[in-house]
Amino acid sequence: MSFTVDILPAFADNYIYLVSDRDIGLAMVVDAGDANVVLKALKEKDLHLSLILNTHHHKDHVGGNDKLQRETGAPIIGPEKERARINNMSRSVSNGDSVTFSTLHGQVIEVHGHTSGHIAFYFPQIKALFCGDTLFSLGCGRLFEGTAAEMWASLTALRKLPDDTLVYCGHEYTEANAKFALAIDKNNAALKARAAEAAALRKAGKPTLPTLLGVEKQANPFLRVDQPEFLQALAKSGLALQGTDPAAIFGSIRSAKDRYGET
């Protein structure tokens, strides 16, 4: 079994993920916002596209679907709860469903919050999680259609996956996320190390993704709102909290981040 995950940058800061089985020359794509980027990669790598996966309906994640389907015939699989908002889905999936590409089997995890029907795909055989705009390295997605409680539940579901899971996020936001994370948790050694690593990778012109879930569990403030060490750091940061339960604390830091910067 030999699979490759190629990271295809698109637009200002999106990543499209191309998973390929080079033995049989087939590929699947996750969140093809720009068809031309994907078609170019397929041609260069001499691959045929056999599946399109979508995590949510935002245009920068599904904008390439129509052209890719026209040119390759690949079926589109996306979230059942966003069926009305994604054109030409061949199949829609919900929590616990599975998707198949070559010999890989992916599990669908519903992760509402950024949008009302957002899903993630977890492929245990290659330890890969494609989570769209739900979990970012050192951050999380904005709450466009869901509540803080929904997003916290989604992040808790992802946090249950193994530490060696490779997290493939929808955007390159790590450096911006690191600034906010360090402002509220400035003595966290894992966070400082990850921020330094991300800065070095960006300086070298490389993606900061995938990120290791085990690192995110220690460094990402949005995964740590129920952990005493983080709460102590948060208290020292002076950030005002609206409530004491994890979902409320999560909501407080998500709103503070909305005010803080672009991601």
User: Would you say 58 or 194 has its CB closer to Fe ion?
Assistant: 58
Which is closer to Fe ion, CB of 31 or CB of 97?
31
- Shortest approach of Fe ion to residue 182 CB, angstroms? 25
Q: Which of 57, 58, 112, 118 is catalytic?
A: 58
Catalytic residue (choose from 21, 34, 60, 185): 60
CB of residue 137 to Fe ion, shortest distance in Å: 16
Indicate if 118 belongs to the active site.
no
CB distance 227 to 141 below 8 Å: no
Tell me whether residue 56 is one of the annotated catalytic residues.
yes
Task: Report in angstroms how near the CB of residue 22 gets to Fe ion at its nearest.
Answer: 30
Has 57 been annotated as catalytic?
no
> Which is nearer to Fe ion, 224 or 254 (by Cβ)?
254
Ordered DSSP codes for 168-229: E-SB--HHHHHHHHHHHSTT-HHHHHHHHHHHHHHHTT----SEEHHHHHHH-GGG-TT-HH
Would you tell me how many other CB atoms lie within 10 Å of the CB of residue 70? 11
Is 60 a catalytic site residue? yes
Q: Cα–Cα distances in Å, from 49 out to 32, 38, 76, 152, 252?
A: 12, 9, 11, 34, 42
Cβ 146 to Fe ion shortest distance, Å: 12
Residue carrying structure tokens 């983080």: 230
Looking at the Cβ atoms of 78 and 246, the one nearer to Fe ion is 78
Q: Which of 21, 31, 34, 133 is catalytic?
A: 133
d(Cα 192, Cα 189) in Å, to the nearest integer?
5
Is 48 in the active site? no
Question: What residues line the site for Fe ion (CB under 5 A)?
Answer: 58, 133
| List 21, 114, 118, 185, catalytic entry | 114
Token match 């450096």: residue?
175
To the query of whether residue 66 is one of the catalytic residues in this protein, the response is no
Does the annotation count 171 as an active-site position?
yes
List CB contacts of 247: < 8 A, sequence separation 6 or more: 148, 149, 152, 153
Task: Choose between 143 and 247: whose C-beta lies nearer to Fe ion.
Answer: 143
Least distance from Fe ion to the Cβ atom of residue 141, Å: 6
| Separation of alpha carbons 256 and 237, rounded Å | 12
Catalytic one among 21, 31, 61, 118?
Answer: 61
Active site residues: 56, 58, 60-61, 114, 133, 171
